[in-house]
Amino acid sequence: MDAPVATVESMSFLTNRALILASELITVWPEHLADVEARTGLIKVLPLELAKTERPLGVWWRTAPGLSPSAQLIVEALRTVSGAGAGGRH
């Protein structure tokens, strides 16, 4: 089978969703997200099994005005759970 001619690499769910709804492209989404979208009737889920994948994830925020105290607590909890500690990249 030939490789697809058109390819798009995007980590944006909204961008990927818009592309899927406006074209004949396919994408890989987490199963729970695909199920939610399939319930709308606008997409079909292909019955594929993929190998487990792991990739680094990040948390982004604007530098000004910065994080609220509650958002800062969430970031600290994520760093603790991930093992990044307070010295994680900012």
Q: What is the mean predicted confidence (pLDDT) over 35-39?
A: 91
Q: What percent of the chain has pLDDT over 70?
A: 83
Angle, alpha carbons 78-82-84 (nearest 5°): 90
Q: What pLDDT is attached to residue 3?
A: 62
Q: What is the mean predicted confidence (pLDDT) over 14-37?
A: 87
Model confidence at 18, in pLDDT bands (50, 70, 90)? very high
**Whole-angstrom distance, CA of residue 69 vs CA of residue 35:** 34
- Which parts of 7-82 are beta strand (E)? none
Q: What pLDDT is attached to residue 32?
A: 86
Q: What pLDDT is attached to residue 39?
A: 94
Tokens of 43: 């997409």
Summarised one tens digit per residue, pLDDT across range 43-82 is 888 877 777 767 666 777 777 777 888 888 888 888 888 7
Cα-based distances in Å from 77 to 20, 54, 60, 74, 90:
34, 20, 15, 5, 15
Q: Which amino acid, 12?
A: S
